[in-house]
Structure 1
């Protein structure tokens, strides 16, 4: 007997989230950890793909074993460090390792594999470690494998004549320093704009063959090629949230930019945030861990306060010239209540004499909201009751939920057919500012018309939050509008989200530019004006700790069939606090609260109940197709960012 292969079958069923033993036939070669194989599933009477996790001499299963049918690929695409990480983060979130591995290992590409196997020897490139004088102690922290909460300088700079954000240059220098020592650096960023900045900065510091991109927008072939290269030699890997699972046998640096951005939260089960996966990977594999940003999330602040992260800042602190209009005295404060107060007009006029001016707004479109002009009733869609909006001047009202236009709208309250706009989106703001500054270019960047860059010529750039284009020498003025509207969102994280949006937009300004925060004062306005975002994170975390809200504690939501949720709650350890259970459309949802030290025990209990409920025979859930795939009777989400929202 050639041995036993312990494999993880690629299946979505929770009950298959374990290693299964298969006998390796004497005639079959190439069965080793990390390769894909084909194995029979006797219960399903079909063949399935699996990853070989271990090869042993003897089986753990006492009965007769089925045989491995074939080796799908001889390349070990599942590296040991990636498997350990996937298993650990899945266990922490009461999820399945297969769900994590779908993020870590892209689908097989035969042509890419053939080209890879036919490659010749590759000499490691020579990389010169750049200076990190702008952040004293950062190079030493990387070499020592420390954990750092990094404050970066706002603004823009140049690398070999190419404009980049200062934060991107700092992380690129840290990555090049790591690569020069022969180790891999992984840089995780929320979206393609941030990745583009990192790639621009890295292009001047590391060879092109050592720079790997890793994100979901890539074709599968490119991503699979990056997987093979990353598993073969040291490199700098730049990507979105899934890049935290990239293979790296000798990991020297794992950096996460802007960890408070919700785009770093995985929307699919087991919903593990990239920051949490990075924390687990650092514990397992070592290397330096850097959480960086213009602002600081409350999760990072907690790690700083318990001593797990060390604070590190720049050698020279650049203070931005921020003007909160809500803090003006007397008559000036009253005038500041306008959407674009006089001080914002003055800064915009002065800025347009030198270059582009950024205007950040809260919503896209022309009129984000519509109301009856006579009685004020909110205009809603006849089909789905969603709110109506106007995409452009003169356009018919359109539902924001289902997209259905309504040309015959009439108020259900007073039967009036007259509408008035409520709020102003990017298109309406562009129209208004275009009339106020005749002859000036007006550029709109939002979800429908995203732009990565603008040039240095004078222009009014109207952008929704998160869609601000990059100006190579910085904006000459930045107007942050609709602050009160942004703060009106009901969320535990609305304050830190707003501070992050405003800080990231302000950081695109030139060093001498004026930044006007309209209509917001108090602690938020002072934090931005003084560029003291960590102080705000400290006070925000203190409030969460007093109320026992995340991240001072952990929370989880358990939902599914009412009887399944009830049985799961009955099996929980005594350390789990059940805040309540709601019932909606035949599905129950319970919220759990617990301390960090109890997380592993509670996750194990919930995961065991998910598997038990999945193996029980149940009647179809009302409202689902009789022969369609039935939803799992029980699902769990740990560290839900909005646990109190359905």
Structure 2
């Protein structure tokens, strides 16, 4: 190594002003160990401490002739930061006006010493098994050519369930992605499959096992133990082509030869990163595809408006299945049957007859809006919400006959009285939850097994025997052979929520549930009409997405435009917006959030995104640096300014 060589290091720090590369000299004792990608310890002169860091590159010394601090030590000899992941983290952070360090924490698991020792001690590698390339069903040769030609597509998934060779049933879309991934691995490239949660991961992993040996399948998610996750990450640093399946952070998984990124149901909120800089998995996938030129698949039953925009721009090619039958969905007005049992079960007459006929032949899925017993209790005399006498939280009832308790503090309300009218009688208000619905249906269908599937009762599979499965949206288990009927209840409650994405979300929830029906089975949509009901009945969700995007363009709502929320003191927000290098489309606010804090929303075109993100990032760094300098002893304090790009939360508030 040249004596003038230096190491450029990204320091692990939450401070935005440290989000850059620092030059360090390399001691002679560490000259052979300091290579790009390794973990190191470096001194920070301003803080007077030693910090963790990652070597981004080793380069020749630049124009600075002064003395440089030396690298303190090399933590591990394994290059865990690949050049590709660094470029991805840097570009994604710049687009979101955030720190690359925050993304690297998601991309690189914490170090596990024992796992590293085993990895370094494995000198002999087993021969890589030969993988045959399967043909992706239902789409002709389209998906095979997508992997070969490295195209970008928006895939309309085939509804239904498929039986695997081991007798397990999974959603058909999981088999489609597994076939595409196996075709990619057969070409010697790595495939990354990104799904919302562990249920989807289990399905895709089971489908992959049909086409790939287990040593070529890697699962990466937060539910794993730290050693298992780090072990899989280290395997990804090698040359072996792999199929990697995991949640949103898997989009940053290292791959020397990346052939495919496939993302299922990008509209699911679980793909949105809740930590700064809040980069959505869809956006990270788009950036990585552009950098690497790999194949890209966005698959779903109901297309998001963001993907629809890319289709209309020609960036993605829309691909539909060939000769695939769609579920039979029957919208119905919310008219109750004369049968008192049906009235108590909140089921329209058509849905009631459908369920009664179908349950004799197998399981019936009933989708409800909420978990639990009842969403709200109210005074039976005046109708005011019943509230806790200690903390004023809303009262709820967990089961029939149980004592009401506070949803906030948990206190039992044994002697409640209304603060408005002094009434003492309570009544249930709003749609019943999954537990209460199960009790009602249990009485209406005597002798039929009732199964609850929600957040407190996670169930992934049910058999083919007669049963009523009461599930909240997103928690629907898979039935062997598919459900003999699907009842989509509480549609009016779901669509009544005030949110920019409410129609899009409802269509996605209902489509994913109806897709679990057996061939020829009827799905009944209760209490919903208009364009949403038409989209479900005709199974033309893409047309609805196009209309939704058209309306967003007229109102200049995302994703027709990009937005940035700027939060802080009134002076800091005003200064940040005034210093923007280009004129935004408009600025909404500022809105007073309390505690001397305001928020403004900046709307701008995509063409101005880079300049506005850079300017807001500079304002954020200046604000943080100024606050730190003003603090006693130079200690960092809460920044006076917070910036978030592509922030939909103000548009999602009800």
Same fold (TM over 0.5): yes
What does the per-residue CA deviation read over 1:355-384, in whole Å, with 9 as the maximum and x for residues that have no partner? 111110001111111111001111234455
Contact 2:191-2:242 within 8 A present in 1 as well: yes
Of 104, 108, 124, 2:107 maps to 104
Deviation at 1:547, TM superposition (A): 0.8
Structure 2 Cα separation of the partners of residues 23 and 374 of structure 1: 78
Tell me the residue number matched to 2:90.
87
* Alignment of 1:67 onto 2:47: no
SS in 1 for 2:510: helix
TM-score normalised by length of structure 2: 0.94
What displacement does 1:395 show? Answer: 2.3
Partner Cα separation in structure 1 for residue 63 and residue 13 of structure 2? 21
Partner of residue 468 from structure 2, selected from 440, 460, 466:
460
Q: Distance in 2 between matches of 1:130 and 1:512?
A: 28
- In 2, are the aligned partners of 1:554 and 1:594 still within 8 Å (CA)? yes
Find the counterpart in structure 1 of residue 13 from structure 2.
11
Give the match's secondary structure for 2:80. Answer: coil
Q: 1:179 aligns with which of 182, 185, 189?
A: 185
Hey, what does 2:309 align to over in structure 1? 302
Q: Map 1:540-551 onto structure 2 (within 5 A).
A: 540-551=548-559
- 1:135 corresponds in structure 2 to 139
Secondary structure at 2:81's aligned position in 1? Answer: coil
Tell me the equivalent position of 1:311: 318
Residues in 2 aligned to 1:250 and 1:383: alpha-carbon distance in whole angstroms: 60
Per the normalisation by structure 1, the TM-score is: 0.95
The whole-number CA distance in structure 1 between the counterparts of 2:410 and 2:251 is 36
Q: Give the C-alpha shift of residue 354 in structure 1.
A: 1.3
Q: SS state of the match for residue 124, structure 1?
A: coil
Instruction: Return the alpha-carbon distance in structure 2 between the equivalents of residues 493 and 420 of structure 1.
Output: 32
Between the aligned partners of 1:494 and 1:78, the Cα distance in structure 2 is: 39
- Maintained 8 Å contact 1:21/1:61: no
Contact 1:555 1:643 in 2 (8 A): no
Match of 2:447 among 408, 414, 439: 439
Q: How far apart, in 1, do the equivalents of 2:50 and 2:509 lie?
A: 49
| Stretch moving more, 424-433 or 159-168 | 159-168
Instruction: Provide closer, same or farther for how the CA distance between residues 81 and 404 of structure 1 changes in structure 2, counting only shifts above 3 A.
Output: farther
Q: CA deviation at 1:387?
A: 2.9
Residues 278-357 of structure 1: pairs in structure 2 closer than 5 A: 278-326=285-333, 339-357=346-364
- Mapped to 2, the partners of 1:271 and 1:616 lie a distance apart of 24
Gaps in structure 1 of 5+ consecutive residues = none
CA shift in 2, pair 1:228/1:293, >3 Å: same
Query: Which string of whole-angstrom CA distances, capped at 9 and with x for unpartnered residues, describes residues 258-313 of structure 1?
Result: 00001100001000100011000011111101000000000000000011100111
Q: Give the conservation status (yes or no) of the 8 Å contact 1:145–1:289.
A: yes
Conserved 8 A contact 2:487-2:523? yes
Offset of residue 218 of structure 1: 1.1
Counterparts of 1:627 and 1:43, CA distance in 2: 9
Per the TM alignment, residue 61 of structure 1 is displaced from its structure 2 partner at its CA by 4.2
Number of equivalent positions: 640
Residue 54 of structure 1 aligns to a residue whose secondary structure is strand
What is the distance in 2 between the residues matched to 1:368 and 1:128?
A: 52
Alpha-carbon shift at residue 642 of structure 1 (Å): 2.5
Superposed displacement of residue 447, structure 1: 1.1
Q: In structure 2, the residue corresponding to 1:75 is in which secondary structure?
A: coil
Is 2:587 the partner of 1:578? yes
Aligned to 2:564: 556
For residue 27 of structure 1, give the secondary structure of its aligned residue in structure 2: helix
CA RMSD of aligned residues (A): 2.2
Change in 2 beyond 3 A, CA 1:311/1:617:
closer
Contact 2:335 2:348 in 1 (8 A): no
1:616 equivalent in structure 2: 626
